[in-house]
Structure 1
Amino acid sequence: MHAALMRACGVVAAGVVALITLLVCWDVVTRNLGLRSLPWINEVTEYALPIATLAAAPWLMWRNQHVRLDLLGAVLSPAAQRRVDRMASLLGLVVSLLMVWYSVRVLLDSRDAGSLVIKALVFPEWWLYVPVPFGFALLALECGRRVLFPSGLTDEAETR
């Protein structure tokens, strides 16, 4: 179940990046051909970037492809490296849970205020915040897994 969820994060991130790429290419081509551009493309791509980032982060961590300081691995013993990894995962868990809490508060405050985004597209501002608690909850889930099962690599990471 966890592996399927993490793979789904990767698929979502790839799909969003593909959509951004297509929209930007469409915009560039239509502008260069002197055709009418779609005014909402810049906004959609702007709003899609955080979605791609929030979906990719837990997937990359699950695959052990996240940013890490490899220099420590060269100077620490394997046992010390595992302890550092576990402490980093615990810190990541705490920070991710704080971000979930804070982002839900911001989302609810925006919803309660009735704030709107008024550009080419008009919609409730809180919609922009919806991906944030989900993305950080998925990061917290992966960090928690790493705290509880520090030596457990994913199947994909082991077969590389």
Structure 2
Amino acid sequence: METFFKLVGWLSLALASLVKLILAAIVIEVVSDVVLRNLNFRPISWGVSATEYGLLYSAFLPVPWLVRTKGHVFVEFLRRALPQGGRLVLEKAVYALCIGLCLYLTFYAFAAFLDALATGAYETKTFDMPKWLIFLPISLGFFLSALEWCRYIVGHDSLYDIDVLDREGL
């Protein structure tokens, strides 16, 4: 099980790293667009659409890494008011709820992914984007997030630990 969660962690890190490149490309595109407009040249026609898709990928691909590194916002006033046993029960309930929500959203995003793949649907803007490429990062991000929440529920770590460093070196 430890090896499985380590592989999920590496995949989560790889997706988060990919998002860094996507964000860098978005910055380059926006700066290029502004420079071209200021020099009275035509802007890059596909730039706005590419930026929109890049932001979609940037929203969903790093989510599993945020779960692993405890980068999400959480409120713990109720948890602190409980005794130690109650805290553990509440933690496990929160993890189970997060797993359920992630799997629910994965199910619908993956169903849309499969439908778009089967129908060959495209989103048409300044360039045609296969719709399955729109649903892919949503499905992947939520599914891997569910696996990262599973890591907490089986006791490998706690979301509420102050120490953010992972014992696996990730």
TM-score band (shorter)?
Answer: 0.7 to 0.9
Task: Compute the TM-score of the two structures, normalised by the length of structure 2.
Answer: 0.80
- 8 Å CA contact retained: 1:13, 1:51: yes
1:30–1:37 Cα contact (<8 Å) kept: yes
Q: Cα deviation per residue 1:5-50 (whole Å; 9 max; x = unaligned)?
A: 2322321222222221221121122112212211111001101112
Of 132, 135, 144 in structure 1, the residue corresponding to residue 150 of structure 2 is: 144
Please give the root-mean-square deviation of Cα atoms over the aligned residues, in Å.
2.3
2:110 aligned residue: 104
- The equivalent residue for 1:33 is 39
Gap regions ≥5 residues in structure 1 = none
Contact (CA 8 Å) 1:89, 1:144: kept in 2 or not? yes
Which structure's residues are more often helix, by fraction? 1
Opposite residue 128 of structure 2, the aligned amino acid is V
**TM-score, normalised on structure 1?**
0.84
- 1:82 and 1:65 mapped to 2: Cα distance? 20
Report deviation, 1:79. Answer: 4.2
Which runs of 5 or more residues in structure 2 are unaligned? 1-6
Q: Which runs of 4+ in 1 moved over 6 A?
A: none
- Count, aligned residues: 158
CA separation of 1:150 and 1:3: change in aligned 2, threshold 3 A: closer
Secondary structure class of the residue paired with 2:61: helix
Residue of structure 2 equivalent to 1:71: 77
Distance 1:71 1:23 in 2: 43
Asked whether the equivalents of residues 86 and 150 of structure 1 are also in contact (C-alpha less than 8 Å), the reply is no
Specify the alignment match of 1:23 in structure 2: 29
| Cα distance in 2 for residues equivalent to 1:77 and 1:16 | 44
